[in-house]
Amino acid sequence: MTNFTALQATFTKYDVSTRLQNLNNHLKQIQSLSQDSTNNETVESLIRETMYFIEWISPYVEFDHAFELVNLGRFLTRWLFSLEETCNNATSKSRVNQELSTWAESVSKMSQLLVVG
């Protein structure tokens, strides 16, 4: 089990742009690992960590970005409740992977905006 207090202390010491990059990396890792249903336990754990990351980023970004991150959290929560079923269905897996790709791209853009702006 992850020690979320220690994880939070480590994660929040970085600036928001770096946190968003870490979130993006997590999304890509989830996308990669979810290709193999034997990784469901690891994927579930990463999704839960990612939801904490969202919680630790959202208060520090503009409202529109926070809203977007909350919607990402909602997507991950819905997927978490049907993880095994989704990972065992090729069509569902493909749809989730496409959505993860879209979210990763969105988070990446968000982090770049913070660096530039």
What are the DSSP calls for 22-75, one per residue?
Answer: HHHHHHHHHHHHTTSGGGHHHHHHHHHHHHHHHHHHGGGS-HHHHHHHHHHHHH
d(CA 105, CA 89): 24
The owner of tokens 């065992």 is 88
Quick one: pLDDT at residue 2?
66
Q: What is the pLDDT along the chain (117 residues), one digit of tens a residue?
A: 568 899 899 999 999 999 999 999 999 999 999 988 899 999 999 999 999 999 999 999 999 999 999 999 999 999 999 888 887 888 988 999 999 999 999 999 999 887 544
Quick one: pLDDT at residue 117?
46
Tell if the pTM clears 0.85, that is, is over it: yes
d(CA 22, CA 86): 25
Which residue ranges make up each domain of the chain? 17-29+43-116
Contact at 8 Å (CB) between 70 and 57?
Answer: no
